[in-house]
Structure 1
Amino acid sequence: MAKLEFPQDFVWGTATASYQIEGAYQEDGRGMSIWDTFSHTPGKVVNNDNGDVACDSYHRYEEDIALLKKLGVKAYRFSIAWPRIFPQGTGEVNEKGLDYYRRVVDALIAAGIEPCATLYHWDLPQALQDKGGWANRDTIDAFVKYAEVMFNAFDGKIKQWITFNETWCVSFLSNYIGAHAPGNTDLQLAVTVAHNCMVAHGEAVKKFRALGTKGEIGTTHNLYWFEPYTTKPEDVAAAHRQRAYNNEWFMDPTFKGSYPQFMVDWFAAKGVTVPIQPGDMETISQPIDFIGVNFYSGGFGRYKKDEGLFDCEEVQIGFDKTYIGWNVYADGLYKVLSWVKDTYGDTPIYITENGACYDDVLTPEGTVHDLERAEYYKKHFIQCHRLIESGVPLKGYFAWSLLDNFEWAEGYNKRFGIVYTNYETLERFPKDSYYFIQQVIKDSGFEV
C-alpha cells in the first residue's frame, strides 16, 4: 500500500453556514432574513421545515467547537448572519449580534482553531429585499458598510475572509430557477443580481485594503465539471455553455475583469443584458488573496435543441449518486482545479466546501456507520493529493459539513454532516466519516 502524505501546512477544516445551524432567529435583536420569509412560506421547503431552531448552535457553539477541537482541524469556516449585525440591513449596529460572534471567534482561537468567516451565505436582511434586494445597487453600499463593521470588529482575530458564498446560487438558483430565497424566476433579474453581487465583492475587497485589515480576503464560487458526451462540435459547445454557467461566468470577471463573450452573446439572444456601469469590471477584478471553490459534482452533456437554458441535455453514464441525487465524480475535482490553475494562474486555492448527502441511520448505541460518505471523502482526498503533487496551489480543504443541518429547500430531509444531529433532542453524534477525517488529519495523509 502507498501512503499519500499531505504538506504539514495544509489546512484541514470543516464548514457551516449561519442560517443552517444557528437557530435563535428572533433572539438578541436579530432581524428577519429572506430565508426566514422563504421558509415560513408554505410549500417552499420540504415538510415546511424552517431554520427557527436548526441545530441551535447559537446556544450550543461551545459544544460544536469542542467537536472541532476533537476532530483536529486547523480552521473552521462559518458565516456571519448579516441580520444579526444590522437587523434592517443598514442603520445602527446590533451589539448583541456582534457579541455572539466575538464569543464564537474567541472560543475558536482558544481551541487553537483559525476562524474563517464568510460575510454573505445567503441570509440577506428582509428589509433590504423589500427594497429590491441584490437587484438594487443600494444593497452594494449596505454590504460594504456591514463588511467594514466586521473588518474593524475582528481585525487581527479573523485572518481569512470570504465575501460571498456561491454567487451562482445567490443569483441563478434563487432568482431564475427559483428554488432558493427569494424564489424569483426571471433570467434578467438573475443576471443583474449576479453582477451586483460581484461588484459588492469587489467593493468589499477595496474596503478591506483601504482599512489595512490584517489577513487575507477572497471569494467562493461553486464550480461544476461538465464534459461533452462526444467530440461533436455541437456537443462540445453545449457542454461548454452549461459548464460556463457555473464557472467562467463568475471566474472570468473575478480574474480577468470581463464576462465570457460567448455567454454574453447567448444571453443577449434571449433578450438579457449585463447592467455594467463604468468602473464595475475593475472593481470586480480587484486582486484577491485566494479563491474558494465549492465542489460537489459533475457530469456529461450533449446538444439538444431547447433543452434547458443552454440547449444541453445531461447524459447519465453510470456514476454512483448521493442521496440528494448528485453524481459522485471525484476525478472532476482534479479536472476543475487543474483548469482553474491553467486558466487563471497561481492564486492559492481552498476547497471551501466538499461533501456528500446520504440517508444516515443513528444506531441505538449512538453511532452512525456512514461508510459511503467516508469513501466519498477518501476519493476526493486522493484527488486533492494528485492536485498538490501536480503543482496546483491547493492550500486547504473544508469538509461540508460539520453538522447535519437545515439543508435549504430540502429542509431537514437531507444530511451532509460528519456529525449526526438529532433534531428532536439537538444531541450531536460523530459519524464514522468524522473519525476517518480525524485519522487523516492526525496522520497527515492515508494509505491507498
Structure 2
Amino acid sequence: MNREILNAKRFELNSNQFGEDFIWGVSSSAFQTEGATETAGKGLSIWDEFAKKKGAICNNDSPAITNNFYENYKEDIALIKKLNIPSFRFSISWPRILPKGTGSINQSGIDFYHKVIDACLEQGIEPFITLYHWDLPKALEEKGGWTNREILSWFEEYITVCVNEYKQKVKYWMVLNEPSVFTGAGYFLGVHAPGRKGLNNFLPAMHHALLCQAIGYKKIKAIDPVAQVGTTFSCTYITPLRYTVKDLNAAHRIDTLLNRAFIEPSLGLGYPTDTLPFLKGMNKYILKGDDELIKTKFDFIGLQNYTREVVEHNSYVPYLNAKIIPAEKRKVNLTAMKWEVYPKSISTMIKKFSQYNGVKKIIITESGASFFDELHGNEINDVERIQYIQSYLEEVLWAKNNGGKVAGYFVWSITDNFEWAEGYKQRFGLVYVDYKTQKRTIKNSGHWYSKFLLNTKKVEEMKGSNLPGISFF
C-alpha cells in the first residue's frame, strides 16, 4: 500500500490492517507513576536524589506522589482494559526490590509487583516488563553507579531476583530502557540523574550498560528459556540542514551516536570508532572477552521514536563538530516538548533497524506526544494527539507493508505522569491526571485508540473474559 492510498484512507485506518499477530499496547515506568518513594521499605533512587536539587526539575516539581500508581494500580489497569488495550508495558523499580541495590530483598516490593502483574492477568492484559527504566538505587550510585564495573554483578543479582520471582506470570521482558539516554543525559550532559558530566563518566557508563544489557538477556534466558527477551533503543531520524559535504558529515556523526553506537556492539559489529573517534577512549574500559560478552541475540528490540532532528556542521561543538537546529527555529509543527511532528521519522527508523541481520523483530515500545491539554468539564479534546498517533501509525503500517520487521506498537503513555526533568509540565497520557485529586479522565485520544483497537483478535479475547464493571465502546 503506497502512502497516497494510505493517506486517502486515513479515517478508515484500523488495527486489523496490521495483522492479527501485531502487538498493541501502552507504556509507563515505575518512577514516573508510582510515587510512594519511601513507602514500605523502598530505597531511594538516583532520581529521588536528583529531584531534590534546586532547578533540576521544571518548577521544582516533586516525584514523591506523581500518579500514586502504587495505590491506584487497580484503577489504572482497569482503565487499560476499558480502553481495549491488550498489553501494558511497565517497569520494576530496582530500589523497591533491593533497597540498597544488592543484598536484602524488600518483600513488600516483591509483593507489590505480584499484585500489579496479577491485576493485569485478571483483566486479560499481557504484562511487558522493563527491568531498568532509569531508577538506579542511590546506594549503588554512591559506589560509582554505571561507571563502576561492579554493576555487572549488581545488575545480574537484581535480574535474577525479578525473573525467578515472576517467571511463571511474565512472558515478555525488556532489559534496559534507552541506554543512550540514561548514559548520555545522566553521565555526559548532567541534565538527568545522577547529574554527572564528561567523557570519563559517559564512556564507562555506556560500556557497562551494554554489557549489562547482554548479561540481562542471557540470565533471563537461562532462568526461563521460553521467555521473549528484548531491550529498547531510542532512535531519531537525522537529516542535514543543507546538502553540503560538511552538513552531511555532521548528520552522519549525529546519526551514528544516536542510532548506531548502542545497537551495533550488541550485534557484534563493535563500536563505530571510524565515525566517532572519541569512542576509542572506551578501550581503557574494555576487558578481554567483552567483545563476545556484549553480543546478544535478542528475540526483539524495542524502538522509541518521537521526532527527527536537523543537523548542521559546527566546529565549536567538541567531539562531534555538529549542532542540532532546534525545531522551533525551523518553523515546523511542534509538540509541547518543542519536538517536530514528523511522521516519516518512525517509518525511516523501522527501515533502518530492519536492515540489521541480527534484528529479528521490532516493537515500537514508545511513541506519542505531549500537548497542552485542557480539561473542559469532563472532556479533553486533544485532537493534535489523535492526529499525531494516527499519522505515525500510518507510517508504521507503510513500513510493515514494505518489508519492515515491525510487529507491535505501544503508545507513550497510558496516563500523564512525572516527565523526568520536565516534571508535570508535559502531558503525554491518553488519560488526564489531576495531580491534586488524582482523578483520571480519559482524553479523546484514549477513546480514539480504544475504538481503533476494538476488533483486534486480542481484544476479542479480552471481551470474552466478561469481567464485571468493564464496558466496551
Name the TM-score, length of structure 1 as normaliser: 0.95
Confirm or deny that 1:32 pairs with 2:36: no
User: CA, structure 1 residues 311+353, in 2 after alignment: closer, same or farther (shift >3 Å)?
Assistant: same
Confirm or deny that 1:77 pairs with 2:89: yes
User: CA, structure 1 residues 150+136, in 2 after alignment: closer, same or farther (shift >3 Å)?
Assistant: same
Alpha carbon RMSD of aligned pairs, Å? 1.6
**Contact 2:220 / 2:227 at 8 angstroms: preserved in 1?**
no
Confirm or deny that 1:358 pairs with 2:368: no
1:5-154 equivalent positions in 2, closer than 5 A? 5-154=17-166
1:298-447 equivalent positions in 2, closer than 5 A? 298-307=308-317, 309-315=319-325, 317-363=330-376, 365-443=377-455
**Correspondence for 1:231 among 218, 226, 243:** 243
**Correspondence for 1:200 among 202, 207, 212:** 212
User: CA, structure 1 residues 43+346, in 2 after alignment: closer, same or farther (shift >3 Å)?
Assistant: closer
CA offsets, 1:124-170, max 9 Å, x none?
A: 00000011001111122111111011111111311110110010111
CA offsets, 1:97-132, max 9 Å, x none?
A: 000000000110111111000000010000000110
SS in 2 for 1:30: coil
CA distance in 1, matches of 2:71, 2:284: 43
Aligned-partner residue type, residue 372 of structure 2: D
Aligned-partner residue type, residue 344 of structure 2: D
Aligned-partner residue type, residue 234 of structure 1: K
SS in 1 for 2:363: strand
Aligned-partner residue type, residue 52 of structure 2: H
**Contact 1:167 / 1:197 at 8 angstroms: preserved in 2?**
yes
Segments of structure 2 that go 5 or more residues without pairing to the other structure are 1-7, 458-473
CA offsets, 1:201-221, max 9 Å, x none?
A: 111112122223431111101
User: CA, structure 1 residues 72+106, in 2 after alignment: closer, same or farther (shift >3 Å)?
Assistant: same
CA distance in 2, matches of 1:275, 1:94: 33
Confirm or deny that 1:189 pairs with 2:233: no
SS in 2 for 1:261: coil
CA distance in 1, matches of 2:95, 2:121: 24
* Alignment partner, residue 294 of structure 1: 304
CA offsets, 1:276-327, max 9 Å, x none?
A: 1112222221211000111111122222211364112334544311111111
CA distance in 2, matches of 1:264, 1:230: 21
SS in 2 for 1:256: coil
SS in 1 for 2:266: helix
User: CA, structure 1 residues 444+390, in 2 after alignment: closer, same or farther (shift >3 Å)?
Assistant: farther
* Alignment partner, residue 279 of structure 1: 289
CA distance in 1, matches of 2:276, 2:18: 41
CA distance in 2, matches of 1:397, 1:435: 17
Segments of structure 1 that go 5 or more residues without pairing to the other structure are none
User: CA, structure 1 residues 437+208, in 2 after alignment: closer, same or farther (shift >3 Å)?
Assistant: same
Aligned-partner residue type, residue 357 of structure 1: S
Deviates more, 1:305-314 or 1:55-64: 305-314
Confirm or deny that 1:176 pairs with 2:188: yes
CA distance in 2, matches of 1:264, 1:161: 31
**Contact 2:314 / 2:322 at 8 angstroms: preserved in 1?**
yes
**Contact 1:134 / 1:193 at 8 angstroms: preserved in 2?**
yes
Percent identity, aligned pairs only, is 35
CA distance in 2, matches of 1:272, 1:139: 17
CA distance in 1, matches of 2:151, 2:68: 29
How far the C-alpha of 1:188 sits from its partner, in A, is: 2.3
How far the C-alpha of 1:61 sits from its partner, in A, is: 0.2
How far the C-alpha of 1:366 sits from its partner, in A, is: 1.4
Deviates more, 1:308-317 or 1:200-209: 308-317
CA distance in 2, matches of 1:300, 1:247: 14
**Contact 2:148 / 2:204 at 8 angstroms: preserved in 1?**
no
CA distance in 1, matches of 2:300, 2:48: 31
CA offsets, 1:60-100, max 9 Å, x none?
A: 00000011001111210000000011000001111110000
**Contact 1:83 / 1:89 at 8 angstroms: preserved in 2?**
yes
CA distance in 1, matches of 2:254, 2:276: 13
CA distance in 1, matches of 2:190, 2:92: 24
How far the C-alpha of 1:257 sits from its partner, in A, is: 4.2
Name the TM-score, length of structure 2 as normaliser: 0.90
Aligned length: 442
SS in 1 for 2:265: helix
Aligned-partner residue type, residue 68 of structure 2: D
CA offsets, 1:226-245, max 9 Å, x none?
A: 01233322221110111111
